[in-house]
Amino acid sequence: MFKDDSILLTRLFESIVASLIKIIMGSLFLCGTLVSVGNATEIVVNQSVPVGKYSLNKTRAIFTMRQRFWPNGKTIKVFVLEDKHPLHKTFTKNNLNMFPHQLRRVWDRMIFSGTGQAPMVLKTQEEMLDKISNTPNAIGYLNSGVEIEKIRVFEYD
């Protein structure tokens, strides 16, 4: 009887340890994912955009389509990814301190009231990179660390 009990306890212990390892590994994976996605986006502009420091409020005004012109008088061309795109979600939360549905609500209100229009919506980051690179006065966002000659990081605080 004692031998059966020890085998049972050993299997129970192994099962508990295996479960704990899975929980710990899953937690570490989740933490790693959150850290890597946390600041994974940066706002980028075409080289033609005037250099300067912009505030978070001005940056929000640009992406909510309330500010339509750069300081030099040129029309701002805003590009965003689809609402459900993971990078769009990360961008709105981390760079604009908003949720994607809040941004969409602002655009919809402007469209339906006739006071403005929504930005150009793109499907992929590659398309975003191409549009910002080749469109004067363009602004959008990409994963951090992308370095292309025709674009630069947008400075804001």
**C-alpha dihedral (4, 10, 15, 20), degrees to nearest 10:** 160
Amino acid identity of residue 67, one-letter, is Q
The yes-or-no verdict on residue 7 having pLDDT over 80 is no
Q: What sign for the dihedral angle of Cα 129, 126, 148, 103?
A: positive
**CATH of region 40-153:** 3.40.190.10
The pLDDT of residue 31: 46
DSSP 120: E
Q: How far apart are CA 99 and CA 79, in angstroms?
A: 17
Q: How far apart are CA 48 and CA 78, in angstroms?
A: 14
Convert the pLDDT of each residue in 58-114 to its tens digit: 999 999 999 999 999 999 999 999 999 999 999 999 999 999 999 999 999 999 999
Convert the pLDDT of each residue in 62-75 to its tens digit: 999 999 999 999 99
Q: How far apart are CA 45 and CA 48, in angstroms?
A: 8
Between 66 and 16, residue with greater pLDDT? 66
The yes-or-no verdict on residue 131 having pLDDT over 70 is yes
